[in-house]
Structure 1
Amino acid sequence: MAALEESYSSRTANLCLSIVRSLLYPSYISFNGLTSLYYPTFHEQQEKDGSNLLLKQLLLTLPYAAMFIILFPILALFLPLRCVLVSLRRPFCYSEHHSKRTCLLEETAQRAMAAGEYKFSICSANICLAPEIMSRMNHLSDVDYRSMSIGQRIKEDQFASHQMPLPSNGSPNDLTIVNGHKKYEKDVGNVSTSFPQLDILCVQEAWSSYHNKALIEELHQSFPYIVHDVGVHAFNINNFVLNSGHLVASRHPIEAVDFKPYKNFVDHGKIISMGLTSVKLHLGSTRSNGNNVAYVFNTHLQSYQGKHEIIPRQLDELLEYSGMFIKQNSQPEDNIAFCIVCGDFNMDNLSPADQIQTRHRLFELFEDFPRLKPGLDKPWAIGTEMRQDRMMDGAVSTPELLKQVAENEALRQCYLLDADITEQTKENLVYSQVKIDDQGNVKIVPEGGRRRIDYILFDKEFPLEVKGYHFVTRLATLTDHIPVAMEFTCSSLL
């Protein structure tokens, strides 16, 4: 995997960056602790007794403020150095960790692919692991707890009873474990309380390098290959604030990685390294001495673009960058099994505000499986963006309860955003109200609870057979999105 070899200067910059981040961590904790006391989430605001928050403010304001003031000289000294170091290293970190279980799964997958009997699965999930104060801006709190819990829930699903470590003899029954289902009945449009056994996990908003450690540790028990801490840092890109938030975890070896920042962004996009993460996967050698490979792209497009047409221009860049990556990394012996784009597009297929981007050329080249045509989704497609003022309600507090809500036409409108956005502003998206009729009942409308902004698209040039498409409620109360997962087979595997 020569493409992943890190230069000496980049390795040195990463080592120094780790030291500097450790020195800055107490300042990070004190600043986030102090500011978070005065930025309550919707859930905290809705608590009948506000004395708990007031008590925290009285007890913790002075200690956090004193701690921050004491540590300020360290912050002033090392924060500029941190900015220099992140600009010197390569724009991603690569982590590889193997266990007996992951090696056995990888070997069995290779045999299944060679036999033409393998079902792939990919997931896209926005998990909002930002620094505490920024998480609270999305009305999610306790990023430490959420980072560990998200990783644990994903890991538990990968270790589910029908996916336990394989028998040592590697019998044909192994295919049941690797593929989840020995028979490939279609299971499209399913709301699921658990993740399928995943080959690839594409994450957005894994911004915090501090909190990602717990997540990565959990993911590595199922995914040997992980790309994280992705982004280019510069004044004209993100003002040295946040990386892209992208993370890609894979069961299959990663051959090449790249990240390119978008040139078009607005408002808070100026503090985020928005762009496209490109990954080439190695799926094994073929009988004709070639290589089966796949391309996966992860992105997160502009939110709250308002009257600015930023998303269509970012989609232009996405097509340009993905094409460049494939051209630069393709080899004569490669057989491309599939090419997939995942991410939080911050647009849906139904809302008036998104009509321009729904007709973008991307959707002519790539297929969005839940979509029938521009402006019309398949009947089973539901929204993936939750109402932030209600996502902590008891009615959606578990994966099972959230599934029940998502499958109920009236309840869904109470907890998932409607796809009727006329302008992408924070006011329209965060503070939109549930539609009520004259009798005080939920007014059921066709676009109710159907703002679907999380996508898995596949290149029509490398056709797939979709065996399952899932809206996964496993991360209830841990994020403001409903992840999506797609299972598929590839006839192009040699």
Structure 2
Amino acid sequence: MVLRESPFPSRLLSGLNSLGQLLLFPSYWAADGLLDLQELTARTRQGQRCRCRLLRVPLMGLALLLLFLLAVPAALLGLVLWCPLQAARRPFAYKHTRLSRRPAGWELPGQRQGQAFSFVSANVCLLPSGLAKCSNLGQTQQRAARIGQLIAQGEAATKYGAVACSPPRPGPAAPCPDASSVAIEVPDGEPGAGLGEIVASFPPAADFLCLQEVFDLRAAARLCRPLSLAYEHILYDVGVYGLPSCRALKIFNSGLLLASRYPVLAAQYYCYPNGSGEDTLAAKGLLCVQVQLGAAQGQRIVGYLNCTHLHAPAADAQTRCDQLTMALFWVQLFQDTHAQPGDVVAFDVFCGDLNFDNCSAGDSLEQSHDLFQQYQDPCRVRPRQDQPWAIGTLLNYLQIHAQALATPQHMKRELEHEEGRHRCLAGPILADGRPDPSAEGSPWKGRRIDYILYRERPNPIGLTTEVEKFWFITQLAGCSDHLPVGLRLLLKPAAQ
């Protein structure tokens, strides 16, 4: 499968799409500016609740409202031009940057020691700034540039002396606090002790990256620039727009972005048709990708990555379950379509923000889904019980700007202890989204809604899969309301 960079089949259609976006942009910018006049939750240590005063600066609000009204005629014309073009659009854009440093192809059976692959998944909350304020985050364009730098430079803190979510400053590097990983405390003798770690930096040279909530197109462009210095293959702007087969008008894409150090052989996006409420305008779905890792006796060594972001409203458990059922069907359809005889399947990974956890009473329906029969969750023992070292990944949005979470190092120290996790992480919920009072006892973990799952696939040489490490990453402190997670798998040929 040859991937072209533009999602449109011709320059004419691509140009007309750009013209439609240009006509829509003034009204979009003005509407976002009006929403962006909201106050963030107070950044002070008192942590008082949010006071959202829409017209904090009355003159600016009046000017933005006037601009929006003046831009409406152009926006209507742009919408008439833009909507029909989306029927001809492929549901993702592809960025290919030829890098001098690329991973060597995996040759089997010559490598008896096996090969390790690392995966990172993160919800980065790159909505338009006004909507990001609902999660107590703003400055979407600035955050996108910083997030890209932090991910692409896995050792940025060590190199530049930067420990906060900010770009490196010119001049000599300042002394940097210890950025080493910290194993989460678990009782001696517990299975998997030492497997999970809280780390202040992204793992260096992660092979695959899956991001969610990259909704804003300008933010996606800012994010891709630094990522393209580390990842040769990037799929972004994933999703459909207009009136597709998803049955509702889609203003936002799926928010998914996938970056790979290895060549992409095939990619397919599938749109969930059952979004409702606040998710209706976003084309949430599943992105399936096949990558080539090397060769074995003339046959391809391939890997499969399946990235998704499920329905958000807490009360809609059945909607999420239906989406997971569709996702498993699509995963099998994609793999059956693109497999070749003799393929060696090294890994099959399913990751993303699933919007449910394994400890909340309100998420019991999703916890027993067939997904966990087909894929293994390294953090999970059984429904309602996680590994002792697993922690939540959804932050308490009221605490995002608290001093205790101001830098990756501060956040790491806070999350190492149960009291800090109780302060900083969102707690378990009931079916209607209210806090679960029965979860106040110890041990308190928070809501782990970001997952990286894997399964072993039959292959001609009998590869075995071993989980080497699972990371909870604090480097996006102040830049997102989620903790990124990482997984390193070791693939080894079966013993002769």
State TM-score, norm by structure 1: 0.84
Percent identity between matched residues is 30
1:279 Cα deviation from its structure 2 partner: 0.4
Does 2:201 correspond to 1:194?
Answer: yes
Q: How many equivalent pairs are there?
A: 455
Secondary structure in 2 aligned to 1:106?
A: coil
**Distance in 2 between residues matched to 1:445 and 1:237, nearest whole Å:** 44
Whether contact under 8 Å (1:127, 1:480) holds in the other structure is yes
State the match for 1:31 in structure 2: 31
Secondary structure in 1 aligned to 2:401?
A: coil
Aligned amino acid, residue 473 of structure 2: V
Query: CA 1:324 to 1:218, structure 2 compared with 1: closer, same or farther past 3 Å?
Result: same
Aligned amino acid, residue 286 of structure 2: L
Aligned ranges for residues 298-447 of structure 1 at < 5 Å?
298-306=307-315, 309-419=318-428, 421-425=429-433, 428=434, 432=435, 445-446=441-442
Query: CA 1:52 to 1:312, structure 2 compared with 1: closer, same or farther past 3 Å?
Result: closer
**Distance in 2 between residues matched to 1:7 and 1:228, nearest whole Å:** 10
State the match for 2:128 in structure 1: 131
**Distance in 1 between residues matched to 2:16 and 2:283, nearest whole Å:** 21
Deviations 1:272-297 (A, max 9, x none): 112110000011222x1001000000
Aligned amino acid, residue 213 of structure 2: E
1:81 Cα deviation from its structure 2 partner: 2.0
Does 2:210 correspond to 1:229?
Answer: no
State the match for 2:225 in structure 1: 217
**Distance in 1 between residues matched to 2:69 and 2:272, nearest whole Å:** 37
Pick from 123, 148, 154 the counterpart of residue 151 of structure 1: 148
**Distance in 2 between residues matched to 1:52 and 1:238, nearest whole Å:** 30
Unaligned runs of 5+ in 2: 160-179, 182-191, 459-463
State the match for 1:167 in structure 2: none
1:160 Cα deviation from its structure 2 partner: 7.7
State the match for 2:168 in structure 1: none
1:85 Cα deviation from its structure 2 partner: 2.1
**Distance in 2 between residues matched to 1:368 and 1:312, nearest whole Å:** 17
Aligned amino acid, residue 34 of structure 2: L
Query: CA 1:304 to 1:206, structure 2 compared with 1: closer, same or farther past 3 Å?
Result: same
Aligned amino acid, residue 290 of structure 2: K
Whether contact under 8 Å (2:306, 2:331) holds in the other structure is yes
Moved over 4 A (4+): 3-8, 44-48, 50-56, 109-114, 158-162
State the match for 2:273 in structure 1: 263
Whether contact under 8 Å (1:298, 1:343) holds in the other structure is yes
**Distance in 2 between residues matched to 1:114 and 1:32, nearest whole Å:** 56
Whether contact under 8 Å (2:472, 2:486) holds in the other structure is yes
Aligned ranges for residues 471-482 of structure 1 at < 5 Å?
471-482=472-483
**Distance in 2 between residues matched to 1:41 and 1:210, nearest whole Å:** 22
Whether contact under 8 Å (2:84, 2:242) holds in the other structure is no
**Distance in 2 between residues matched to 1:113 and 1:64, nearest whole Å:** 64
1:186 Cα deviation from its structure 2 partner: 9.3
State the match for 2:254 in structure 1: 244
1:112 Cα deviation from its structure 2 partner: 10
Aligned ranges for residues 15-94 of structure 1 at < 5 Å?
15-37=15-37, 39-43=38-42, 57-94=57-94
Deviations 1:66-85 (A, max 9, x none): 33233222212102322222
State the match for 1:459 in structure 2: 455
1:11 Cα deviation from its structure 2 partner: 5.6
**Distance in 1 between residues matched to 2:107 and 2:412, nearest whole Å:** 35
Deviations 1:91-133 (A, max 9, x none): 1111101232xxx2323x6479963543210011000111122
1:47 Cα deviation from its structure 2 partner: 8.3
RMSD, aligned CA:
3.2
Whether contact under 8 Å (1:303, 1:424) holds in the other structure is no
1:355 Cα deviation from its structure 2 partner: 1.2
Query: CA 1:44 to 1:10, structure 2 compared with 1: closer, same or farther past 3 Å?
Result: farther
State TM-score, norm by structure 2: 0.84
Query: CA 1:131 to 1:54, structure 2 compared with 1: closer, same or farther past 3 Å?
Result: closer
State the match for 2:186 in structure 1: none
Whether contact under 8 Å (2:94, 2:236) holds in the other structure is yes
**Distance in 2 between residues matched to 1:190 and 1:74, nearest whole Å:** 52
Whether contact under 8 Å (1:368, 1:458) holds in the other structure is yes
Deviations 1:150-172 (A, max 9, x none): 1111122167879xxxxxxxxxx
1:8 Cα deviation from its structure 2 partner: 6.7
